[in-house]
Amino acid sequence: MQTLTIELPEPLAEEIYDRNISNEQVYSFIVQAVELWLRSGLATPQESENNGVPSRFGKSAVPFVEQLINENRELFERLARL
């Protein structure tokens, strides 16, 4: 297993902490989200409009994340109860 460090915006990290969401829950969500993202075909580099840096989601990851949550709502609700 390899380690990948993800820095979250402070408000998001605070909300995770305030809701008492465990590191294990966050880890489980991230692993499943990345696995689904890679399988979805969205993980192909696209040129960013503003700085030429490849963007994995084009303009926004929101549609993918919303779809992921909708398709796995029961799982996320179970994780939230852990």
Question: Tens of pLDDT along 37-48?
Answer: 787 776 666 544
* Residue-range domain boundaries for the chain: 17-41+57-82
For position 71, what pLDDT does the model report? 81
Q: For the chain, which ranges sit under pLDDT 70? A: 42-60, 82
DSSP-assigned beta bridge partners for residue 47: 54
pLDDT for residue 18: 93
CB 30 within 8 A of CB 6: yes
* pLDDT of 47: 46
- pTM of model > 0.75: no
27 near 39, Cβ under 8 Å?
A: no
